[in-house]
Amino acid sequence: MGWSLQVRTVRDRGRSHGYRLRALASALEISRPLGFSATWTYLELRLGVDPEAPEFLEPAIDALADERVRSRAALRRHVDLRLAAKEEGRRQPVADGATPHRPLRWHGDERRGAGVLLGSLLDRPETQDLNARQESAAVLDLATRLARRLDAAEPRTVALDAGDRASLQAALVGARRDARPPRGPDAMPAYLRARTTQLLLEQILIAVDGAPPLGEPLTFVATPAGPPAGR
């Protein structure tokens, strides 16, 4: 069943609580801006209400619906930006540029969403494997500190100096390089480490700098402006 039907069902107080709760879970499966589990955790944190309580349902679906409106608006802006860029001769999108759905984020509350998603990523078994590599362990440590600060009703972030940013950018470049589809089972562990590191770094970037501008490179350091491609 579609999004609109699930929303109506959640808001229908004539239905049983269990039926409405299942409809909320179905709506979350459709939307899931942070992935299913992290989105559910985000809603619990934001609303401060037991998800089993009837009082959780309508505020939760309202929050999801608001995020969905913002996400779809971002998608329309992204399409307009791409059309304008093509008219100027820039037919290829910016490498590693932000899109409405990459990196994952809660549109309208990006920093707190990043804190929740960092916490979810840190709980994954494959994330703990990063401790075996010094540069990845440093990323893991920063992600843990940010998750603690942001996974709260009043999120707080941390400041990064130029050295921190340069180190994180180097780690991001390396993770992107290594997160290519693996060729054979022997390459899978390295791929998973790189992909997990990339996901962590993207959320760290949001946690520190906020929402990434659509179409712009995801980077911890300022990039010099160059002439438009095709000119």
Instruction: Render pLDDT for 50-67 as a digit per residue (tens, 0 to 9).
Output: 989 999 999 999 999 999
End-to-end CA distance of the chain: 48
Asked whether residue 224 is domain-assigned, the answer is: no
Is 48 among the domain residues? yes
Which tens digit of pLDDT belongs to each residue from 166-187?
Answer: 888 988 898 888 888 878 888 8
Same domain, 146 and 201: yes
SS3 (DSSP) at 136: helix
Same domain, 57 and 117: no
Residue 83, pLDDT above cutoff 80: yes
Residue 147 in domain: yes
Answer yes or no: do 123 and 199 share one domain: yes
137 and 205 both lie in a single domain: yes
State which amino acid sits at residue 16.
S
Is residue 102 in some structural domain?
no
Range of the domain at 34: 3-87
**Pick from 18, 43, 8, 11: which is nearest to 28 by CA?**
43
Cβ 81 vs Cβ 60: under 8 Å: no
> Do 120 and 186 reside in the same domain of the chain?
yes
Backbone angles phi, psi at 208, to 5 degrees: -90, -45
105 located within any domain:
no
Whether the Cβ atoms of residue 201 and residue 81 lie closer than 8 Å to each other: no
Rounded to whole angstroms, the Cα distance separating 11 from 8 reads 5
User: In sequence order, what are the beta bridge partners of 102?
Assistant: 99
How many angstroms separate the most distant Cα atoms in the chain? Answer: 62
Same domain, 170 and 135: yes
The percent of residues in the chain predicted with pLDDT above 90, rounded, is: 46
- Domain check: are 155 and 66 in the same one? no
Same-domain check for residues 116 and 190: yes
Q: Which residues of 148-163 are buried (b: 16+ CB within 10 A; e: fewer)?
A: ebbbeeebebeebeee
Q: pLDDT averaged over the chain? A: 86
What is the predicted pLDDT for the residue at 229? 42
The reply to whether 222 falls in a domain is no
In a domain, 217, yes or no: no
User: Of all residues in the chain, what percent carry a pLDDT higher than 70?
Assistant: 88
**For the whole model, what pTM was predicted?**
0.85
- Structural domain count of the chain: 2
In a domain? residue 223: no
Peptide bond before residue 51 is cis, with ω within 30 degrees of 0: no
Last residue of a domain, one of 87, 102, 136: 87
Q: Is the pLDDT of residue 125 over 90?
A: no
